[in-house]
Amino acid sequence: MHFVTHASCRICLSVISFAVLCSTVSSQSKTERAFANSVSTPRLLGQVRDLVRFGSRTGGTRSGDKAVSYLVEQFRKAGFTPVVEKDPKRLAYELKNWSLKVQSPPSLRNLVRNEWVGAYSPSVPNTTASLVYLHQPENAPSIGLKNKALLIDAAVSNKTYRRLAEAGVLCLLLTSPNLEGAYSDWAMISDLPESEKNLIPLFNLSRNNGLRLKKVLMDSVEVILNFSVRSAIDSGSPKTVIATLKGESERYFLICAHGDSDSGGPGADDNASGVSAVLETARILQALVKNGRIPRPKFSLRFAIWGTEIYSTEHFVRRHADEVANIHGVLNLDEVGTGATRNCIYFESNDVGYNAHLLRTLEAVGEEFVGKRGYWSESTTNPSQGGTDSYVFFPRYLARLKLPELEIPAITIYTGAWNELKALQQTPGWSSKAWKGHPDTVYVDYSAYYHSSLDVPATTTEKEPFNMSGAVKALGIGLLRLAW
Ligand SMILES: [Zn+2]
């Protein structure tokens, strides 16, 4: 008797829970489908083009301020009431225009194509100078360098830069490093010391152009250059734009991306792609709530575009010190516009124990949609690499800012990082079913245009628009599972 009752109860319960499960699963996937169907690739691409047109969007410059006005307008159009938060002033660099030409020999007149000026290069009027090559400038004497342009193979220390400038060198031309997949015909952007007192500009050359000029000089051919730079080095306040989708709780997810091109270049992939993805996710989630397709989220969502990478994030944490404990999780997007060797979406910092819930949710999304049309062909989580805004929320970093060492889940979503392929040892227990390589190793895909003159829409976002739309889908579906 007891047995029968018990058994029938179990059956009843199973039927009910099956029905509940079915309705949950189907309504959940319906919402997720609605989200995915709303992702607009033309809009994602258009926003990147718009942002790149403003220049390098460095926080505290006119270029940065133009990007801020644009972001405010985009959030407003999406139904938000964005706020702009100002950071303390800091020295900032804006490149206005520049020229670099080989005047002689005539055969090299069209050589300069994808070169770029290093940040903190001062303004110099139109100047003509003969080029000389200096091997190992750190130790070389600076006699005979007066009024010359100097070709070098490797970046120099601040001390050597000063010494060369004081010896009368008129500008530096730096050859890009020798990497397999990057900088052959475009320039890696390296900078001068962050100072308004720099005396001479730095031009970054593509690898091939650097080698070509060196060879010509070795053959004792005189190379005459013509160059100018117009730039502004002033202190200004980086500005962060924040838009909130209010939930039932004061606790919130922070969805963010750095708004500046931290290299000082065009920065389409790094990081107009991340900015565009955050805008698109915010727009769709707000529309789904407004149209009554989904209720208000349980947790609030705050979308933030940092004025300056790391600096603005630090100041956000400082300004909001009294409510940092309310952050339920940080989802940072940095470089979601390209990937040189694979179509993979990465979720970073699986070596941090308290990131598990957030990352397991995204890992499940990655595995569920892998190979489906409009999604990624691979996905994985990976251990910490540092170097982006999610790290500001780590306990160690908070301690440096003299804040309590809270354990705030903080991750970064990306499709490519750095300028060459990196192999990382996978964190035990985290090999993804959606990863095609060896389960113990994660290959971090890279951008061939990382911090370069050609990090432009045509080579990154326009060429591989599926990266951005995939990142938006992963982020949006992940948030629907995490915040509702
Ligand atoms: Zn970045």
What pLDDT, in 10s, does the model give residues 335-354? 999 999 999 999 999 999 99
* Cα–Cα nearest to 64, from 98, 89, 45: 89
Coil, strand, or helix at residue 214? Answer: helix
Residue with structure tokens 């220390």? 157
Inter-residue long-range contacts of 29-38, CB under 8 Å, 24+ positions, other chains counted: 31/288, 31/293, 31/294, 31/480, 32/476, 32/477, 32/480, 34/288, 34/293, 35/284, 35/285, 35/288, 35/473, 35/476, 35/477, 35/480, 36/374, 36/473, 36/476, 36/477, 38/284, 38/287, 38/288
> Backbone phi, then psi, for 388, in 5-degree steps?
-150, 175
Q: How far is the CA of 170 from the centre of ligand 1 (A)?
A: 32
347-379 residue pLDDT tens: 999 999 999 999 999 999 999 999 999 999 999
> Backbone phi, then psi, for 333, in 5-degree steps?
-110, 120
The confidence band for 139, taking pLDDT boundaries of 50, 70 and 90, is: confident
Domains of the chain: 38-89+237-482 (3.40.630.10), 96-231 (3.50.30.30)
* Cα–Cα nearest to 358, from 425, 441, 299: 299
Separation of alpha carbons 35 and 365, rounded Å: 13
CB atoms within 10 A of CB 314: 18
Instruction: Check residue 2 and give its pLDDT.
Output: 37
Separation of alpha carbons 406 and 397, rounded Å: 10
Q: How far is the CA of 417 from the centre of ligand 1 (A)?
A: 8
Instruction: Check residue 354 and give its pLDDT.
Output: 98
- pLDDT tops 70 at residue 13: no
Give DSSP secondary structure letters for 271-310.
IIIHHHHHHHHHHHHHHHHHTTSS---SEEEEEEEESSTT
Return the H-helix or E-strand segment holding 442.
strand 441-444
* For residues 438-452, average pLDDT: 98
Residue percentage of the chain with pLDDT more than 70: 94
**Beta strand 299-306 pairing with 344-348:** unpaired
Instruction: List the 202-205 sheet strands across, edge first.
Output: 90-104, 224-236, 124-133, 148-152, 171-175, 202-205, 116-117
The confidence band for 28, taking pLDDT boundaries of 50, 70 and 90, is: low
Helix axes 41-53, 465-482, angle to 10 degrees: 110
The confidence band for 8, taking pLDDT boundaries of 50, 70 and 90, is: very low
Q: How far is the CA of 166 from the centre of ligand 1 (A)?
A: 34
Q: How far is the CA of 113 from the centre of ligand 1 (A)?
A: 24
Q: How far is the CA of 269 from the centre of ligand 1 (A)?
A: 8
Q: How far is the CA of 262 from the centre of ligand 1 (A)?
A: 7
Residue percentage of the chain with pLDDT more than 90: 92
For residue 105, whether the previous peptide bond is cis, meaning omega lies within 30 degrees of 0, is yes
Separation of alpha carbons 232 and 353, rounded Å: 45
- pLDDT tops 60 at residue 22: no
Q: How far is the CA of 450 from the centre of ligand 1 (A)?
A: 9
- pLDDT tops 80 at residue 21: no
Question: What are the residues whose beta carbons fall under 8 Å from the beta carbon of 64, sequence distance 6 or more?
Answer: 57, 58, 92, 236, 238, 239, 259, 260, 307, 308
* 151-190 b/e (C-beta count within 10 Å ≥ 16 → b): bbbebbeeebbbbbbeeebbbbbbbbbebeebbbebbbbb
Separation of alpha carbons 28 and 364, rounded Å: 14
Instruction: Check residue 27 and give its pLDDT.
Output: 65
Q: How far is the CA of 471 from the centre of ligand 1 (A)?
A: 15
Q: How far is the CA of 259 from the centre of ligand 1 (A)?
A: 9
Q: How far is the CA of 334 from the centre of ligand 1 (A)?
A: 5
81-92 residue pLDDT tens: 999 999 999 999
* Cα–Cα nearest to 263, from 207, 303, 350, 204: 204
Q: What is the CA radius of gyration of the chain?
A: 25
Token pair listed for 479: 């948030």
Q: What is the residue-averaged pLDDT of the chain?
A: 94
Coil, strand, or helix at residue 189? Answer: coil
Q: How far is the CA of 437 from the centre of ligand 1 (A)?
A: 26
Q: Side chain identity at 128, as an amino acid letter?
A: T
Yes or no: say if 256 and 331 are a contact pair by the CB < 8 Å rule. yes
The confidence band for 99, taking pLDDT boundaries of 50, 70 and 90, is: very high
Coil, strand, or helix at residue 119? Answer: coil
